[in-house]
Amino acid sequence: MSILVIAEHDHAVLKAATLNTVTAAAKIGGPIDVLVAGSGCAAAAQAAAALAGVARVKVADAAHYAEQTAENLAALVVANVSGYTHILAPATTFGKNLLPRVAALLDMAQISEICGVESPDTFVRPIYAGNALATVKSADAVKVITVRTTGFDAVGQGGSAAVEAIPAGPDLGLTQLVGRELTKSARPELGAAKVIVSGGRGLASGENYHALLEPLADKLNAALGASRAAVDAGFVPNDYQVGQTGKVVAPQLYLAIGISGAIQHLAGMKDSKVIVAINKDADAPIFQVADYGLVGDLFQLVPELTAAL
Amino acid sequence: MKVLVAVKRVIDYNVKVRVKADQSGVELANVKMAMNPFDEIAVEEAVRLKEAGIATEVVAISCGATHCQEQLRTALALGADRAILVETDAAQTENLQSLAVAKLLKAVCDKEQPQLVILGKQAIDDDANQTGQMLAALLGWPQATFASKVVVADGKTTVTREIDGGLETLSIRLPAVVTTDLRLNEPRYATLPNIMKAKKKPMDVLKSAELGVDIAPRLATLKVVEPAKRQAGIKVADVAELVAKLKNEAKVI
């Protein structure tokens, strides 16, 4: 058995999700190699080499990996798959975009968003927006897997893996990046934050969302999230969305404000350590998962809470 | 330009899913079924491309048993011109996995030669999020997943994608595969006259065996269980009590 983990990185640093993915690889067992494909990505490769349990880091450094397009990366992974029994990537927009392409080129199934490892060929994954957990067994020669980051802890440091350059694959020239508009924020990343302040339709408008939740998030050094209803209503962009169709998070503290608790939202946050709900409807389903519920008018309670911290 | 849209029949998103007592799956008998919501967005986008004079024909396609014709009729009522059902038998339908569907769609694309294939980014039953990417790989076409804006011009499509941390805009050569995210559009409702008209639109039924692809399942589902329930906590009286609990009991602030 031998595992290849596809690193998600920005050429300089590894994305946190890569660390959870290496932990999932360690649970499967066998030597773990990490593939870092990028442009000027030596620093990211060094960071991968320092992860506990990593045997080798393979680096493909070329200009056509700068934008991390699925087409070019999939071709590279497929060219380097020989000898591996498992290929893993984080179930982030990066991994979800790339890995099914790899799987199809290899004529292998993909096992999406595993949250548990039963054995080297058997995995647990959520289906129906987390309303059920399926245990699936793969008969394929190469198991192609995306990893739900909240299902596994981040791997520690302390490794000293060999870093080995590998030849770049072809530039297929199918895709051109026009631009990226990343939400600029001094706040922690939603997927990695210890505290998340999340708002729903109860906030009634985008202005209220920002006016009420930002000061609270500042106090708690929290990331900001939202329910799908708040995103659908246009309060905040989609990358704020917590839920089955958005991000799945598991912070130490999750504050759900004006969120009723639709099943698809609960699927994205119910693994949080402590959940606080503030909602005017005492019967809202969010209170069935909240450790601490506060029933009342959020327009009064949120500023009060911000002031009390 | 011909646009193909793939639609999947799934449990209606309003239905509370129940796991079967024998842990073999979820209860599907007598449950309301509907078109996968992300696929509705795909149909809407294709129809808008036609209304804008960019697409000349919108073909809806589904893979599965006979009753998938209901969802194809919905696509026709929303504005698709014709429909294709790739029919599988009952046993195959129960375990029709993403790779198999991608292979069936590829075979249909080889016949139909669309310039653009639009699919939902994931189906709300198995939540796999694979079929579009797999289809693009099998066709050797570029892909733009999780689209929130699609512009087609001059043999290319410019797609804005929802990525972690923001948005990314790609310019990709046609033919291409696009998968839809939530904010791409708001699907219309089918009007009664359009539902009536949809009944007269053409629907071809192909047997999956005629397409000559291997659709045997690669993954075996050993069991399906309900996730552990989270215990409801307590209600606090006011902000002061909440802050005290978070500090002293939960110790998270």
CATH code for the domain in which residue B97 is found: 3.40.50.620
Chain A residues near residue B136 by CB distance under 8 angstroms: 101
Q: Which of B16, B127, B168 sits opposite A180 (nearest CB)?
A: B168
Cis peptide preceding A31, ω within 30 of 0: no
CA atoms within 13 Å, Cβ hemisphere of A240 = 29
Closest C-alpha among B160, B150, B155 to residue B173: B155
Domain coverage including residue B213: 2-228
| pLDDT tens by residue, chain A, 309 residues | 999 999 999 999 999 999 999 999 999 999 999 999 999 999 999 999 999 999 999 999 999 999 999 999 999 999 999 999 999 999 999 999 999 999 999 999 999 999 999 999 999 999 998 889 999 999 999 999 999 998 999 999 999 999 999 999 999 999 999 999 887 778 888 887 999 999 999 999 999 999 999 999 999 999 999 999 999 899 998 889 998 778 889 899 999 999 999 988 998 898 899 999 999 999 999 999 999 999 999 999 999 999 999
**Whether B142 and A175 lie within 8 Å, measured CB to CB:** yes
**Whether B127 and A138 lie within 8 Å, measured CB to CB:** no
Maximum pairwise Cα distance, chain A = 61
List of chain B residues with pLDDT < 70: none
For B223, which residue in chain A has the nearest alpha carbon?
A135
- In chain B, the number of structural domains is 1
**Whether B162 and A140 lie within 8 Å, measured CB to CB:** no
For A75, which residue in chain B has the nearest alpha carbon?
B137
- B239 in any annotated domain: no
Report yes or no: A245 at the B interface, CB cutoff 8 Å: yes
What's the pLDDT score for residue B133? 98
Å from A231 to nearest chain B CA? 8
Chain B residues near residue A293 by CB distance under 8 angstroms: 233-236
For B97, which residue in chain A has the nearest alpha carbon?
A109
CB A197, CB A222: distance < 8 Å: yes
User: What single letter denotes the amino acid at residue A118?
Assistant: E
- B245 in any annotated domain: no
Report yes or no: A90 at the B interface, CB cutoff 8 Å: no
- B237 in any annotated domain: no
* B153: three-class secondary structure by DSSP: strand
Closest C-alpha among A143, A173, A169 to residue A61: A169
Q: Which of A136, A180, A292 sits opposite B219 (nearest CB)?
A: A136
pLDDT in tens, B185-208: 999 999 999 999 999 999 999 999
Closest C-alpha among B166, B164, B163, B250 to residue A255: B250
For A270, which residue in chain B has the nearest alpha carbon?
B230
What's the pLDDT score for residue A225? 97
**Whether A101 and B136 lie within 8 Å, measured CB to CB:** yes
- B253 in any annotated domain: no
**Whether B170 and A180 lie within 8 Å, measured CB to CB:** no
pTM over 0.95: no
Q: Strands A132-138, A122-127: parallel, antiparallel or unpaired by DSSP?
A: antiparallel
Q: Which of A97, A131, A179 sits opposite B145 (nearest CB)?
A: A97
Report yes or no: A228 at the B interface, CB cutoff 8 Å: yes
* B193: three-class secondary structure by DSSP: helix
Q: CA-based Rg of chain B, rounded to a whole angstrom?
A: 21
- Give pairs for B157-163: CB < 8 Å, separation 24+: B157/B116, B158/A178, B161/A93, B162/A93, B162/A238, B162/A239, B163/A93, B163/A94, B163/A180, B163/A239
- B246 in any annotated domain: no
What's the pLDDT score for residue A89? 98
Report yes or no: A221 at the B interface, CB cutoff 8 Å: no
Interatomic CA distance for residues A254 and A273, integer angstroms? 8
**Whether A290 and B162 lie within 8 Å, measured CB to CB:** no
What's the pLDDT score for residue B111? 97
Residues 284-303 in A contacting B (C-alpha not used; CB under 8 Å): 287-295, 301
For B130, which residue in chain A has the nearest alpha carbon?
A100
- B30 in any annotated domain: yes
What's the pLDDT score for residue B75? 98
- B248 in any annotated domain: no
- B135 in any annotated domain: yes
For A271, which residue in chain B has the nearest alpha carbon?
B230
